[in-house]
Amino acid sequence: MIQAERILLEHALMDPLNERFVFLSDSCIPLYNFSYTYKYIFSTPTSFVDSFADTKEGRYNPKMDPVIPVDNWRKGSQWVILTRKHAQVVVKDRTVFPMFQQHCRRKSLPEFWREKPIIGDTSKQHNCITDEHYVQTLLAQEGLEGEITRRSLTHTSWDLKVNREWERRGWHPLTYKYSDATPELIQSIKGIDNIYYETEGRREWCTSKGKPAPCFLFARKFTKPAALRLFNMSAKGLPRPDE
């Protein structure tokens, strides 16, 4: 995944007019119209990178030290928005990425997710998911955290209490199905104005141009039927996500 993102950035950087580089999932929907989204992203000279110190989950592999010290280990959403400078840092990186290739591995899936048990002790495996750590750790390693807004503009729900169906469990966020896609859901996401980072005891109040603003411009994960339902609601004159 990270290698693919690096290739995409390398090609996008060939156009000197490209100033921001936005990573989105194919299950994302926009919450606002293009004009609002564009102005929001360009309201600050920083990148938007969800990034926080990761001290709980045992994802850091000590074999990365001293190239990547644990003090620079970060975690966050893969859905980042990078400035041109930071996109170039990612593409030119020849130090952090090789360490991830060698020492960052995803842990075996939980028992309930697999059809067959895994032989051997997996308790000591480092559950390192590259796309949740690489950009964040690289920017920390390069001393560039002062140049980022430390939050993602893409909303993802990990609240498994909402629905405990088996297909909604595991290492994937909640997937919004057809029945979930309502104007009320969209308004509830648009109403979020702060994010709390438990590992740092940090609450990020969302702003744009120095004024309070919604935290998110996009939301995921929506199935195709769910996205089409919202589109049809808009076509019929019901409240649109950008209103």
Q: Residue 148's beta-bridge partner residues?
A: 47
Both tokens of 75, joined, read: 């975690």
Residue 52 lies in a domain: yes
| pTM for the full predicted model | 0.85
Report the alpha-carbon distance of residue 240 to residue 233 in Å, rounded. 7
Domain assignment of residue 185, yes or no: yes
Phi, psi of 111, rounded to the nearest 5 degrees:
-55, -40
**Alpha carbons 216 and 153: distance in angstroms, whole number:** 4
Query: Considering the domain boundaries, does residue 115 fall inside one?
Result: no
pLDDT of residue 57: 62
Alpha-carbon gap, residue 163 to 146, rounded angstroms: 38
- For 35, how many CA atoms within 13 A lie in the half-sphere containing its CB? 2
Polymer length of the chain: 243
- pLDDT given for residue 158 in this prediction: 79
Residue 227: C-alpha distances to residues 49, 171, 220 (Å): 25, 22, 10
Task: Give the separation between CA 83 and CA 147, rounded to whole angstroms.
Answer: 9
pLDDT of the chain, 243 residues: tens digit per residue: 899 999 999 999 999 999 999 999 999 999 999 999 999 999 999 999 999 988 666 789 999 999 999 999 999 999 999 999 999 999 999 999 999 999 998 765 554 444 555 444 444 556 788 999 999 999 999 999 999 999 999 999 976 555 445 444 556 789 999 999 999 999 999 999 999 988 888 899 999 998 999 999 999 999 999 999 998 887 665 554 444
- With respect to residue 117, please indicate whether it lies within any of the assigned structural domains: no
Residue 47 lies in a domain: yes
Beta-strand pair 74-75/20-22:
unpaired
Question: Which tokens is 194 given?
Answer: 């702060």
User: Across the strands, what pairs with 194?
Assistant: 205
- Indicate the number of domains in the chain: 1
> CA 167, CA 170: separation in Å to the nearest integer?
8
pLDDT at 113: 45
C-alpha 238: how far from chain center:
29
The per-residue pLDDT for 121 is 45
116 in any annotated domain: no
Q: Specify if 241 maps to a domain.
A: no
Please give the DSSP secondary-structure letter assigned to residue 172.
S
Q: Is residue 62 part of a domain?
A: yes
Shortest CA distance to 60 belongs to which of 149, 154, 128? Answer: 128
The domain in which residue 221 lies consists of 1-106+126-236
